[in-house]
């Protein structure tokens, strides 16, 4: 499509409007037969700040059926209204998603046709609307003759009547025409616009809710628990760190750092427990019963949950080593 495709658009021609992403709010007119989109500077529409977008992500073409989009990245396909596609015909109002950028395809609604003439012709002829039918008495005949003579002498009267009747016919036919339901394209475009507006409203409300939650005392307590857990994690006290991160999430479940470090603390804690279990078993096989008891005692102190299988296993080995140690004295 070339560089000319990146001209600012107006509402009277098909164009692309960036709904969300690094270029949010910008619109570009579709004035050629082809437009390429991607992170590379070789594209017509360059999304260089969208790191999740491919270098050559998509191409939009003008076909006899209308504009269509084709995905150029097999591992990172384009989504149309949330559905990954290889190629798809673009209807007004659809949203293209690539990386973190969401682009809306906007096309003007078709203009309504002018009201039909219905073949009505109005003649401006004097006497064209003269009354028909003869009265039964002579007085009525004289009055009719006078009226007819008066109408023949006043052609402007007939012109006014013709214009009024023509205006009534036009208003009736045009009113009927304007009450026709909108076309299918217009209905789909309006529906997509309503869906998009509702989604944007929902996202903005969620962002506002998260920001307001961070100003509460509950969030401050969760943040204090996160800081305490971070210190214990750096010192290698993974059991204590795990407890602090669990407290943080109980106060503020959406705390992403607490979620991440809780998982890391659990993994490190499990590694230490498994290490001591293996170490205690090795000491027992070598008849080093005091060292076996020390390793198993460490496991029991760390796990603490008596219903945990690791706690039960450590207790059994501890008691066995203790019994074998007593037999040797």
Measuring CA to CA, how many Å separate 324 from each of 32, 156, 301, 315? Answer: 88, 132, 22, 14
pLDDT at 173: 67
Measuring CA to CA, how many Å separate 109 from each of 28, 67, 191, 278? Answer: 18, 15, 13, 73
pLDDT of 129 above 50: no
Count of residues making up the chain? 329
- Could you tell me the two tokens for 272? 């230490």
pLDDT of 244 above 80: yes
pLDDT at 172: 73
- What is the mean predicted confidence (pLDDT) over 307-328? 90
Residues 153 and 190: their CA atoms lie apart, in Å, by 58
Q: For residue 189, is it left (φ>0), alpha (ψ between -120 and 50) or beta?
A: alpha
Range from 108-122, 147-161, 189-203, 314-328 that averages highest in pLDDT:
314-328
pLDDT at 149: 57
CB 58 within 8 A of CB 72: yes
Instruction: Report percent pLDDT > 70 for the chain.
Output: 73
Q: What is the pTM of this model?
A: 0.35
pLDDT digits 0-9 by tens, 262-277: 999 999 999 999 999 9
- What is the mean predicted confidence (pLDDT) over 49-60? 92
pLDDT of 60 above 80: yes
């Amino acid at each position: 499509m070339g560089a000319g495709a990146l001209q600012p658009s107006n509402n009277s021609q098909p164009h692309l409007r960036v709904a969300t992403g690094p270029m949010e709010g910008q619109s570009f007119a579709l004035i050629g037969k082809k437009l390429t989109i991607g992170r590379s500077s070789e594209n017509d529409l360059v999304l260089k700040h969208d790191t999740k977008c491919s270098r050559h992500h998509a191409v939009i073409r003008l076909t006899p059926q209308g504009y269509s989009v084709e995905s150029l990245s097999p591992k990172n396909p384009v989504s149309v209204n949330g559905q990954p596609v290889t190629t798809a015909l673009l209807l007004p109002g659809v949203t293209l998603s690539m990386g973190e950028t969401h682009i809306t395809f906007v096309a003007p609604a078709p203009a309504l046709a002018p009201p039909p003439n219905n073949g009505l012709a109005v003649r401006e002829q004097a006497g064209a609307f003269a009354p028909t039918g003869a009265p039964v008495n002579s007085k009525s005949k004289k009055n009719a003759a006078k009226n007819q003579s008066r109408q023949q002498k006043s052609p402007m009267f007939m012109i006014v009547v013709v214009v009024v009747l023509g205006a009534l016919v036009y208003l009736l036919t045009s009113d009927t025409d304007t009450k026709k339901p909108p076309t299918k394209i217009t209905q789909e475009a309006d529906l997509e616009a309503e869906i998009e507006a509702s989604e944007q409203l929902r996202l903005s409300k969620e962002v506002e809710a998260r920001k307001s939650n961070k100003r509460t005392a509950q969030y401050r307590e969760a943040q204090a628990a996160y800081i305490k857990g971070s210190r214990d994690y750096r010192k290698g006290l993974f059991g204590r760190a795990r407890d602090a991160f669990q407290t943080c999430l109980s106060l503020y479940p959406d705390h992403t750092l607490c979620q991440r470090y809780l998982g890391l603390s659990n993994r490190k804690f499990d590694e230490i427990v498994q290490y001591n279990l293996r170490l205690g078993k090795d000491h027992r096989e070598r008849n080093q019963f005091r060292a076996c008891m020390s390793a198993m005692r460490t496991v029991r102190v760390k796990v603490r949950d008596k219903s945990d299988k690791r706690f039960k296993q450590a207790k059994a080995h501890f008691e066995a080593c203790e019994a074998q140690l007593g037999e040797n004295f």
